Structure 1
Amino acid sequence: MTIPSLPSFTAGQPTTQPTTQPAARLIGHWLAGLERAGIPDDVASAARACIIDTLGVALAGVGTDTARLARGEALDIHAAGPSTLLGGGRLCAEGAAFANTAAAHALDFDDNSYAGFVHGSAVVVPTALAAVEAAGGTGADLLTAVVAGAEAEYALAVALGNGVYEAGWWTTALFGVVGAAATAAKAFRLDGDRAADAVAFALCGAGGMRACFGTGAKPLLAAQAAANGLRAARLAKRGGAVPHVVVEDPRGFARLVAQGRFDPTALTALGRRWHLLDPGIDTKAYPVCLSSHAAADAVRDLMTEHRLPPSDITAVRCVVPPLVAANLTYDRPTTPGEARFSLPFAVACVMLHGDLTLDHLTTATLADPHLHAAMERVSMRPDPGWNADPDRARLAPEGADVTVETATGRTFRRFCASARGTVARPLSAQEHAGKFHDCAGRAMGPEAAARLHRKLLDIDALPRLDGLLDGSIG
């Protein structure tokens, strides 16, 4: 079992460790030297799982309002090109990355990593697909580009600490632009200095705030990060130069977003510590914010173990970390977007239906009076002392201590440190495959989804990516 190792820094206290290279240059030169043959098998396997999961949820997300909006915008402003547009057609790499990333994050069903608290794959995988297609690359090139972008993004996030997320930055957009720039730099085979230019330029324009949660702005900001990062790599390829000290500069990234906290050893360890393995990738079992999963799992497990019907439950009391309460701000959601950030919705849905699937995130479900009644029985209380215990903070960063009270006077309690699908409780290969088939099958039908799954499992053997997603529909 791999336990998430979350870096912690004292607010306002920079971590200063001598290094001979600026951060952007450390990343850029590592990117230039990364080759498929140098990626360990377990890292490649993790990246392959990210590709499969992300393309599945992206295909399921194509039909959402947000993805349609992004697709329309991309078609309006971007030229035709060699890169696949989910839902049909082709655009230039930048346009495809923008539209496909919006689809990948529209349902909030894509993976997470505690290295920065980011949705890394939703940005990196669509960018890699678009850039590698534009470069005429192979399946092995796609996998290499995904590893490059993921590791660069996660390493920089670890170097700056989790205080960035806690301060209100939405790190998927903030660090995602770096992942996209690194991914595209690898796909375009930029040399070390040009790759550093791409990363540095991307950082200069990075941004995003958590105030967007529960709205269509969230996936659109991820899409913007993908397009901006890819554009940064294209500009670097054309010779656009940027100072490589943009992280360390007194007016730069570390000071502005991390109060000067920066540990360059996270970057000098690139290629030795693989963040795809440590802290690893959390694959979602439910299509809602991961912060609600532990409570939902605890309720589902208690109901199964004690054979509790929903009608017997009078109250569900959830004590959670402050981070969870800060993410789940909709007590009584009125839209599917808000429901994705609602603990009462997640718990009530599991109480009534035994599960929480894409089919439950509809206006019809939200209008169900039985669901409303169930949500009224669910409460959430943040525990300000949750992180006082270092072990609990490390092992249960989005955990839940759940008490279920019944009409017969019985009370049941369950502490769930980690939800199903997280690194500590990974989904089985069968569950991963089932999620992909369900998601992709919604867009392209079960037979085409099965064919695509087989291709992705053998991604290294694909001599080219043309036609990989043929059969996808909006």
Structure 2
Amino acid sequence: MSVTREVAGWVARLAIDGVPLGVTAAARAAVLDTIAVTLAGAGEPVTRIVAEAVAEDGARPVAAQLGTDLRTSAEGAALVNGVSGHALDYDDVSVSVRGHPSVVVLPAALAAAQSVSASGRALLEAYVAGVEVMTKLGRVMGPAHYRAGWHATSTLGTLGSAAAAGKLLGLDAGRITHALAIAASEASGSRQNFGTMTKPFHAGHAARCGLHAARLAQKGMTGDPAAIEGPVGFFAMFSFGDARPEELVRSLGAPFDLVSPGLSVKKYPCCFATHRAADGVLDLAGEHGIRPNDVAAVTVTVPAGGRQPLIHDRPETGLQGKFSMQYVIAAALLDRGLGFDAFSDAAVRRPEAQALLERVMVHEEPAFRDAANPMEEGHVTVEVRTTDGRRLARRIDHPRGSPALPLRREELLAKFRDCAARALDPAAVDRALTALDCIESVRDVNALVASLVPGPRPAAPVR
């Protein structure tokens, strides 16, 4: 049997009742965080642009954009919510993917769930399936895919979202095989667009394409049953010989990536490759009372390859600032933190920020090459040289929010409230948290979604 067929069979057979409790708990937490950042991004310029374009199509209203009153087609909702969830670059990341799994898989699954009035348990089941397929594809793909310039969130996410959507639409293994094959021909996304509106578009595009692939397969469209592993299939095109397709099927659920290695939840709304250095410089500034004017120079040393997503050394916009180690360090020193406001165009263009980032140097150290994913593995060092001659250094192995240093429950809830308040009033935020806390008891996901958009909220019915 082909690898593509075996993956599809695994997706079709997966049952939430047979999943370890830790996996279900991790899925609930990831859904909470992803919905939070999706609500936070609802008013961002890129989200508004995409939502306006979707609204102009006048599609049959079967699914909702979270945080707004827009209702549109399932595919339109997957697109807009995927864009919204990635607009602030505040969504979770996976070391296996070298990217962001939830922001692609959940919008596709949520839209599909609304279209068939699926239960909350079915939504979680599909989310687990989609994330597992996406992360394990990433694990066996190898590093050449990302190095070549592909945005793995988008390329791998198209197949992960197809698996999740196919699960929710009730496709059998044969039709999920076709959905994965169709999705393989829709996969795309270039890292050259990091620091622009097109990067968050990648997430929405992948979510929409995955759902689209599943719907086409549902209606009888076919694809090659060896689309993933074939001689000119997904791995052959995208992995440059690095892929290990023979490992894919046996790795599914053994263990689930949601628990090992787990997902990282972002503490700051910027590229995760900057987070260890941000933690280090904030710690040093707090411990030693360092003020911006005290800084003569900052040197950040990362593993070889650790700068790959950080393509804007001299950013001019807020979006570029998210992918600039120099700016993130400067903003952390200036603002004593990294919140939403740090990544506006005006904040990046502050004369004091532009002057300070000139004093930040980033160095890749080949001796640190002990990591398969240098953006998240290995370690980072930060050294601050002060104007009075001090040299203050910190080594950071794990960023806050990573599986090794997870955010506390109260930190996750604070992040949710902070994000959701950008789209919902305080009472609505409370209702949303209550609904999400009992997601597995929701009979119809549409009732859950009603708590995540403006207007009167009916209580989510439970079994």
- TM-score normalised by the chain length of structure 2: 0.94
**Aligned pairs, number:** 452
- Aligned-residue offset at 1:391: 6.5
Which residue number in structure 1 is paired with residue 193 of structure 2?
212
Query: Within 2, Cα distance between the matches of 1:79 and 1:358?
Result: 33
Whichever residue aligns with residue 256 of structure 2, its letter is W
| Residue 332 of structure 1 pairs with residue 314 of structure 2 | yes
- Aligned-residue offset at 1:467: 3.7
Which residue number in structure 1 is paired with residue 254 of structure 2?
272
1:415 aligns with one of 389, 395, 398: 395
Greater relative contact order structure (CA < 8 Å, 6+ sep):
1
SS of match in other structure, 2:393? strand
Query: CA distance change for structure 1 residues 391 and 81 in 2, over 3 Å: closer, same or farther?
Result: closer
Which residue number in structure 1 is paired with residue 274 of structure 2?
292
- Aligned-residue offset at 1:395: 10
Which residue number in structure 2 is paired with residue 238 of structure 1?
219
Q: How does 1:84-103 map to 2 (within 5 A)?
A: 84-86=64-66, 87-103=68-84
Query: Within 2, Cα distance between the matches of 1:38 and 1:428?
Result: 27
Note the aligned Cα RMSD (angstroms).
1.8
Whichever residue aligns with residue 209 of structure 1, its letter is S
- Aligned-residue offset at 1:180: 1.0
- Aligned-residue offset at 1:393: 6.8
CA displacement 1:252-287 (0-9 Å, x = unmatched): 111111123223223223233201112210110000
Whichever residue aligns with residue 274 of structure 1, its letter is F
| Residue 259 of structure 1 pairs with residue 240 of structure 2 | yes
- Aligned-residue offset at 1:308: 2.2
- Aligned-residue offset at 1:454: 1.9
SS of match in other structure, 1:146? helix
SS of match in other structure, 1:404? strand
| Residue 344 of structure 1 pairs with residue 326 of structure 2 | yes
Q: How does 1:69-468 map to 2 (within 5 A)?
A: 69-77=49-57, 79-86=59-66, 87-260=68-241, 261-387=243-369, 390=370, 397=377, 399-468=379-448
Query: Within 1, Cα distance between the matches of 2:254 and 2:357?
Result: 47
Q: Are 1:395 and 1:418, in contact at CA under 8 Å, matched by a contact in 2?
A: no
Q: Are 2:147 and 2:308, in contact at CA under 8 Å, matched by a contact in 1?
A: no
- TM-score normalised by the chain length of structure 1: 0.91
- Aligned-residue offset at 1:136: 0.9
Query: Within 2, Cα distance between the matches of 1:262 and 1:313?
Result: 47
Whichever residue aligns with residue 243 of structure 1, its letter is D
Q: Are 2:307 and 2:375, in contact at CA under 8 Å, matched by a contact in 1?
A: no
SS of match in other structure, 1:327? coil
Q: Are 2:154 and 2:202, in contact at CA under 8 Å, matched by a contact in 1?
A: yes
- Aligned-residue offset at 1:473: 5.0
Comparing 238-247 with 319-328, which one deviates more in the overlay?
Answer: 319-328
Whichever residue aligns with residue 147 of structure 1, its letter is V
- Aligned-residue offset at 1:71: 0.8
Q: Are 2:112 and 2:168, in contact at CA under 8 Å, matched by a contact in 1?
A: yes
- Aligned-residue offset at 1:133: 0.8
Whichever residue aligns with residue 39 of structure 1, its letter is V
Which residue number in structure 1 is paired with residue 48 of structure 2?
68
SS of match in other structure, 2:213? helix
Query: Within 2, Cα distance between the matches of 1:395 and 1:257?
Result: 20
Comparing 461-470 with 104-113, which one deviates more in the overlay?
Answer: 461-470
Query: Within 2, Cα distance between the matches of 1:469 and 1:246?
Result: 34
Comparing 112-121 with 204-213, which one deviates more in the overlay?
Answer: 204-213
Query: Within 2, Cα distance between the matches of 1:278 and 1:395?
Result: 18
Whichever residue aligns with residue 280 of structure 1, its letter is G
Query: Within 1, Cα distance between the matches of 2:420 and 2:138?
Result: 30
Query: CA distance change for structure 1 residues 175 and 137 in 2, over 3 Å: closer, same or farther?
Result: same
Q: Are 1:159 and 1:262, in contact at CA under 8 Å, matched by a contact in 2?
A: yes
- Aligned-residue offset at 1:116: 2.0
SS of match in other structure, 1:331? coil
Query: CA distance change for structure 1 residues 178 and 393 in 2, over 3 Å: closer, same or farther?
Result: closer
Query: Within 1, Cα distance between the matches of 2:291 and 2:301?
Result: 22
SS of match in other structure, 1:62? helix
CA displacement 1:4-51 (0-9 Å, x = unmatched): xxxxxxxxxxxxxxxxx2222111111111122112110011111111
Q: Are 2:98 and 2:373, in contact at CA under 8 Å, matched by a contact in 1?
A: no
- Aligned-residue offset at 1:197: 1.0
Query: CA distance change for structure 1 residues 257 and 44 in 2, over 3 Å: closer, same or farther?
Result: same
Query: Within 2, Cα distance between the matches of 1:398 and 1:358?
Result: 28
Whichever residue aligns with residue 179 of structure 1, its letter is G
Query: CA distance change for structure 1 residues 398 and 473 in 2, over 3 Å: closer, same or farther?
Result: farther
Q: Are 1:322 and 1:386, in contact at CA under 8 Å, matched by a contact in 2?
A: yes
Q: Are 1:345 and 1:375, in contact at CA under 8 Å, matched by a contact in 2?
A: yes
CA displacement 1:229-251 (0-9 Å, x = unmatched): 10110011111121211122211
Q: Are 2:317 and 2:349, in contact at CA under 8 Å, matched by a contact in 1?
A: no
Whichever residue aligns with residue 18 of structure 2, its letter is G
Comparing 322-331 with 35-44, which one deviates more in the overlay?
Answer: 322-331
Comparing 74-83 with 215-224, which one deviates more in the overlay?
Answer: 74-83
Query: CA distance change for structure 1 residues 402 and 392 in 2, over 3 Å: closer, same or farther?
Result: farther
Comparing 286-295 with 321-330, which one deviates more in the overlay?
Answer: 321-330
Query: CA distance change for structure 1 residues 354 and 398 in 2, over 3 Å: closer, same or farther?
Result: farther
Query: Within 2, Cα distance between the matches of 1:285 and 1:372?
Result: 24
Query: Within 2, Cα distance between the matches of 1:127 and 1:267?
Result: 23
- Aligned-residue offset at 1:363: 2.3
Stretches of structure 2 that go unaligned for 5 or more consecutive residues are 456-463
SS of match in other structure, 1:421? coil
- Aligned-residue offset at 1:437: 0.6
Stretches of structure 1 that go unaligned for 5 or more consecutive residues are 1-20
Query: CA distance change for structure 1 residues 108 and 169 in 2, over 3 Å: closer, same or farther?
Result: same
